């Protein structure tokens, strides 16, 4: 859904994974750390992810993933998997950095609302691009995850802004629908240029 141009946002909130960060070859990189490269890695990866994103530990998560694959978890293997996973989801694309920088220069509040692990939350805040972000909301810290209604209401309260003045951009329709139900404007991510055009139409960014 495209937000109404009549409501200029006071804050622009982005999802992180598959919006600002689109890591190529993630599963192949993870599999390369393992004794053999299981084809079922991606399935096992997501089967246990919700608990990890809600504040679970890396040890518990990766032990469960590896058990599904018939692989014993060792501290060194888990450390390598955590490093690769965290770096992949917190290294954002150059066009995403440019977009965050442009928004920051415009004086708009820029936020991240992401279902993410504790390691990702720490790495994102410390990343060079983190200086463009004014507001951080991570499922692991809140013990809430999109599309839970409570997470959107929490963000609204923390921002202390009218819900209709918050623009949210996410790649998953369920998460966008959750934001719309909370009274936010919301937009399904398709590409960086599409988002830049949207923000220009709303008067947040200046036409190039």
Q: What does the pLDDT look like over 61-84, one tens digit per residue? A: 999 999 999 999 999 999 999 999
Say which residue, 144 or 37, is predicted with more confidence.
144
pTM value is 0.94
- Domain limits at 143? 11-22+92-201
Q: How many domains does the chain have?
A: 2
8: pLDDT confidence band, cut at 50, 70 and 90?
A: confident
Residues 18 and 111 in one domain: yes
Question: Helix, strand, or coil here: 7?
Answer: coil
Cβ neighbours of residue 41 under 8 Å, at least 6 residues apart? Answer: 27, 30, 31, 34, 65, 69
Residues 106 and 163 in one domain: yes
Select from 87, 80, 93 the least CA-distant residue to 30.
Answer: 80
CATH number at residue 96: 3.40.50.1000
Query: CA 33 to CA 35: how far, in whole Å?
Result: 7
7: pLDDT confidence band, cut at 50, 70 and 90?
A: low
Residues 140 and 80 in one domain: no
């Amino acid at each position: 859904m495209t937000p109404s141009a009549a409501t200029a946002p006071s804050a622009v909130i982005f999802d992180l994974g598959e919006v600002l960060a689109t890591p190529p070859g993630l599963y192949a990189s993870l599999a390369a750390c393992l004794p053999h490269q299981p084809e079922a890695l991606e399935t096992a990866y997501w089967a246990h992810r919700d608990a990890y994103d809600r504040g679970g530990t890396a040890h518990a998560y990766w032990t469960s993933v590896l058990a599904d694959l018939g692989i014993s978890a060792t501290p060194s293997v888990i450390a390598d998997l955590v490093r690769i996973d965290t770096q992949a989801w917190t290294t954002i694309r150059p066009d995403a950095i440019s977009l965050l920088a442009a928004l920051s220069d415009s004086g708009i509040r820029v936020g991240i609302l992401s279902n993410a692990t504790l390691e990702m939350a720490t790495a994102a805040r410390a990343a060079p691009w983190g200086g463009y972000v004014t507001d951080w909301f991570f499922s692991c810290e809140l013990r809430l995850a999109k599309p839970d209604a409570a997470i959107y209401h929490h963000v609204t309260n923390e921002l202390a802004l009218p819900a209709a003045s918050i623009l949210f951009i996410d790649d998953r329709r369920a998460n966008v629908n959750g934001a719309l139900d909370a009274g936010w404007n919301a937009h399904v991510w398709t590409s960086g240029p599409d988002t830049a055009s949207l923000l220009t139409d709303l008067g947040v960014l200046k036409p190039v």
